Structure 1
Amino acid sequence: MLESTSINQQYEQACRDNMRILIVGAGIAGITAAQLLRRYGRHPVLIERNKDKGHPGYMLALMPMVDQVLEDIGVREYYLQNSTALARFGFHAHTGKMLRIDPMDNILSRYGDYRGIARGKLIETLTNDGCNVSFSTTVTGINDSATGTTVNFITDGESYQLEFDLVIIADGIHSTTRELILGSNTVEMVDTKWGGWVDWTTEDTNMDLGEEIWGAGFFLGIYPVKGKLGVFLGGSHKDTKVGPASFVENVRRKLTIINPRMDSALRNVASSPNPYYWPLKDCRSPKWVFGRTVLLGDAAAGFLPTAGIGAGMAMESAWVLTRILQHSHLDTLAAQLQSYEQMQRPRVETAQNTSRRLARFMFHRSWTLAVLRGIAMKFVSVEAALKPIQNLLANKPNPDHIA
C-alpha cells in the first residue's frame, strides 16, 4: 500500500545511494519505476501532488509486456489473484447485435498473460510490500547545475529546495512538471472531442469476455476485472453534456438488442450519483530527455484507451528505464538516458499510433458510417487490428544489452 512519508525522510535515504533520484507522480508509471528501483537496491524519492491516493479511476486490460515487470517487483502471484483472464472479445453492431467473438487467448497467449484489473487494484498490487510517497507535494522549479539538478517544491504549504542527480517526471498526461522543462517545445495533443463515464456493474457468468458496441454517436465497453465488470459509456462532448441519465436514454433508443449485461451497465451509469468522466485525448512530447530529467508514462506519451495498451506501455517503459539505470553511473547517466529514449520512444509511439487509428475508426456520430463499419468488422478480426501491438510483443526490448 502507499505509505505517507515526509520528503525529508525519503531524501535522507536517497542521499545514501550513488544516485539521488526523484520521481514526480505516484500513478502507474511512477509507482512502477519507484518499486523497481527499490527492488534493485536504490531509494528514490516519490512525490504526489494529490493529498491522498486520489480517484481509483477505471478498468485496465494489461497485455503481456507487463509480465516481466511484475516478476521483477515480486508481485506476479498477487497480480494473478487480483485480476481476471481475458480470453474472448465480443464486437457488437451499432444496433446491439453481436457480430463476432474473437478468441483473445489464441492471439496473445503465445506472449504471456492478458488480464483485466481495476486501476486501484493494480496500484494495490504494485505496492503490496509498501511504497513510501510524499503526498501534497508539487514541483515549482527545476534547474540544472554543475553538481546536479536543483528542484523546488511546495509540500503542505512549505517550500523546499533539494538537489538530485536524476529527475523522472511521471505526473500524467496533463503534467505541470513537464511544462517547467519544455521551454519553447510544445506537446502534440489529439483531442477526439469525445468522453464518457466510467462505472461498475456486477460480475456474471462470462467473466472471460470483454464486449464493445461501436454505435452511431456512442461507444459502450464492458470489461471484466476481479469480482465485477468495468463499464465505459461515451460519446461526443456535444452529446454527453446532457448528463449520464439522459445520454443513456438516447443510447437505449438507438439499440434494437440489449442483452442483460448491457442493460445492467446502462442502468448503473444512469443511476450512479457521481460517475467518473474521462475526456478522450492523448499527448506526445517532442522529446523525452532534458539533461538529467526524463519523461515517463503519460507525461511522455499519454494514450487514448482504444487499444488497451497505454498502462502496459507505461509499465514497460518504467522497466526499460530502471534496467538501464542499473548499469548507470553519474558519468554515464546522460548517455544512458539518450539510449533509453532511442530504444523505447519508437515502441511507445507505434502503440500510440495504433490507438489513434482505432479512435478515428470508432468515434463517429454518423448512422451511415456505423452501418459500413459494422459490415467491415464482420471480416476484420481483432488479431488483424492489433497486428502492430503483436509485433511489439514479439520483439521485446533488451535494456541490459543497450546499457
Structure 2
Amino acid sequence: MLTDTPLDSQIAAQHDDRLRVLIVGAGIAGITLTQLLRRDGLHPVLVDRMPEMDHPGYMLALMPTVDQALVDLGVHEDYLAAGTPMQRYAFRSHRGKMLRSESMSDLLRVYGDYNGISRGALIEVLTESGCPVTFGTTVQQVTDRTALFVDRDGTPAGEGRFDLIVGAHGMNSRMRSVLGSAAPQVIETGWSGWVGWADDLSDPTLGEEIWGNGFFLGAYPVKNRLGVFLGGPDADLADGPVAFAASVRERVDSLGPRLEASLRAIETAPDPYLWRLDDARAPRWVLPAGVLLGDAAAGFLPTAGIGAGMAIESAWMLGRMLAHADRQTLPVLLEAWERVERPRVEAAQSNSQMLARLMFRRGRVLAWLRETTLRRLSVRAVLGPIVKLVAGRPDPDAVARQALA
C-alpha cells in the first residue's frame, strides 16, 4: 500500500543511509526501484505530483523480463495470482474476419509467463509490504545535488540533499530538463485511444486485436475481466466514444461477440481514460544532476506490449547495481547501468515503433497490404527481437562487479 507520508519524515529516515536516493514519480518504474532499495536496507524518498494515487489505470501485458524483479521483491507468487496468463493471440482483418490465432505460451514458456494484469493490481502487489510516498509534491530545481521541492501550486515545500536523484515521472516529465537532459526524440502518431473494461470472459487466456481501416480495437485478459483499447486518429475521436464506436461498426462485417462486448464497454464507460499514443526517447539516461528511468527515459507506444516490462527491468537492473554502490563508486556504476540497459530498452522500443508504422495507417488498400504482410509473419517473427531480449537478460551483479574491477 502507498502511504502518504510527510516529506520531512521521509528525508529524516534516510539520514544514516550509505546512499541517499530521491525518486520522483510513483509510477511502475519508480515504485519498483523504491521497493528494491528498501529491501536492500535503504530509505529512498519517493514523491509524486499527483495529490493521491488516482490514475484510472489500464491493462498491462508483462513478459518474463519482469519476473526476477518480482522474485527479488518476494511478490512473484502474488503477481501471478493477481493477473492471468495470456496464452494465445488472435488477429482479425480490417473487416473483422479471423486471420490467425497463435500460441504465446509456446513462444515464451521456456522463460516464463506472458501475464495480463491491471496497472492498479500491479501497484498493489508491488506495495503490499508498505511504501511511503509524499503526494502533491515534485522537484522544481536541482543545484549541486540539492533538490528544491514544490507543491502542485508551485509553493516551496522544502529541500533535501541527495546522492542520486531519479526522474521517473512519466512520458511528459519535467524532470528531463530539471536533471539536464537534451530534448527527447518524440514520435507523435496523431492517434489516441480509450481504455475500458469488459466482463466477457468467454476465453480468459486470449488476447485479440483488429487493426481496422482508421481504427484499432483490442481485448486483453486480466484477472476476471478484459482490458479494452479502442483507438483511432485524434480528429476522428473528437465526437466521443459512442460516435466513434458507431463508425467502427460501419466499417466491419462482424466483430464477434467478444469484441462486440469490448466495444460496448467503451461506449458505456462513464469516463473512459484517453491514452495519447506518442513515443519519446531521451538521448541519455545518466545526466549531470541525476538519472532518468521508465517513461521519462524511453516512453513506449503500446504496440508491442513491452514498455512497462522494460521499465521494470531497468528499475531492477538499477536497484541491483546500486546494492554495490557507495558515494564514491556511484558514478561508474550508473554509467555501466546505462551502457548495458539503454540499448536493450531502445531495441524493444524500435520494435514497437515498427509495429506502429503498420498499425497507424488508413485506407483500404493499405489495410489489405498490412494484412497480407501479417498473414506471412508469425507472432514469433514479429516479436522475435523481444524474445531475444528476454533470453539475453543481463546479470546486474556481474555488470556491477565488472564496472568496479
- TM-score bracket for the superposition, by shorter chain length: over 0.9
Partner of 1:26: 26
Matching of residue 176 in structure 1 with residue 180 in structure 2? no
Size of the aligned set, in residue pairs, is 398
Partner of 1:165: 163
Q: Deviations over 1:46-79 (max 9, x none)?
A: 0010000022321000000100000011111110
Q: In the TM superposition, what are the counterparts of 1:213-362 in structure 2 within 5 Å?
A: 213-291=210-288, 293-362=290-359
Matching of residue 193 in structure 1 with residue 180 in structure 2? no
Q: Deviations over 1:195-240 (max 9, x none)?
A: 1100010041300000000000000010000011000000011211
TM-score, scaled to structure 1: 0.97
Partner of 1:119: 119
**Percent of pairs with identical residues:** 51
Q: Following the alignment from structure 1 to structure 2, what is the Cα–Cα distance between the partners of residues 51 and 61?
A: 27
Shift of 1:398: 1.3
Amino acid at match of 2:327: L
Partner of 2:106: 106
Partner of 1:152: 148
Partner of 2:374: 377
Q: Deviations over 1:139-180 (max 9, x none)?
A: 110112xxxx10000147443111001101100010112121
User: The residue matched to 1:134 in structure 2 has which SS?
Assistant: strand
Shift of 1:291: 3.4
Q: Report if aligned partners of 1:291, 1:334 keep a CA contact under 8 Å in 2.
A: no
Q: Following the alignment from structure 1 to structure 2, what is the Cα–Cα distance between the partners of residues 320 and 171?
A: 18
User: The residue matched to 2:393 in structure 1 has which SS?
Assistant: coil
Partner of 2:11: 11
Partner of 2:86: 86
Matching of residue 43 in structure 1 with residue 40 in structure 2? no
Shift of 1:375: 2.2
User: The residue matched to 2:149 in structure 1 has which SS?
Assistant: strand
Q: Following the alignment from structure 2 to structure 1, what is the Cα–Cα distance between the partners of residues 134 and 384?
A: 41
Q: Following the alignment from structure 1 to structure 2, what is the Cα–Cα distance between the partners of residues 40 and 364?
A: 47
Q: Following the alignment from structure 2 to structure 1, what is the Cα–Cα distance between the partners of residues 67 and 61?
A: 13
Shift of 1:28: 0.2
User: The residue matched to 1:10 in structure 2 has which SS?
Assistant: helix
Shift of 1:268: 1.6
**Structure 1's 155 and 14: CA in aligned 2 closer, same or farther, altered over 3 A?**
farther
Greater CA deviation, 133-142 or 376-385? 376-385
Shift of 1:366: 1.0
Structure 1 segments unaligned to the other structure (5+ residues): none
Alignment RMSD? 1.1
Q: Following the alignment from structure 2 to structure 1, what is the Cα–Cα distance between the partners of residues 143 and 109?
A: 46
Q: Report if aligned partners of 2:22, 2:45 keep a CA contact under 8 Å in 1.
A: yes
User: The residue matched to 1:400 in structure 2 has which SS?
Assistant: helix
User: The residue matched to 2:135 in structure 1 has which SS?
Assistant: coil
Structure 2 segments unaligned to the other structure (5+ residues): 401-405
User: The residue matched to 1:378 in structure 2 has which SS?
Assistant: helix
Q: Which runs of 4+ in 1 moved over 6 A?
A: none
Q: Following the alignment from structure 1 to structure 2, what is the Cα–Cα distance between the partners of residues 54 and 283?
A: 24
Q: Report if aligned partners of 2:213, 2:362 keep a CA contact under 8 Å in 1.
A: yes
Q: Report if aligned partners of 1:153, 1:159 keep a CA contact under 8 Å in 2.
A: yes
Q: Following the alignment from structure 1 to structure 2, what is the Cα–Cα distance between the partners of residues 305 and 110?
A: 24
Q: Deviations over 1:80-102 (max 9, x none)?
A: 11000110000000011110001
Amino acid at match of 1:221: G
TM-score, scaled to structure 2: 0.97
Matching of residue 138 in structure 1 with residue 138 in structure 2? yes
User: The residue matched to 1:230 in structure 2 has which SS?
Assistant: strand
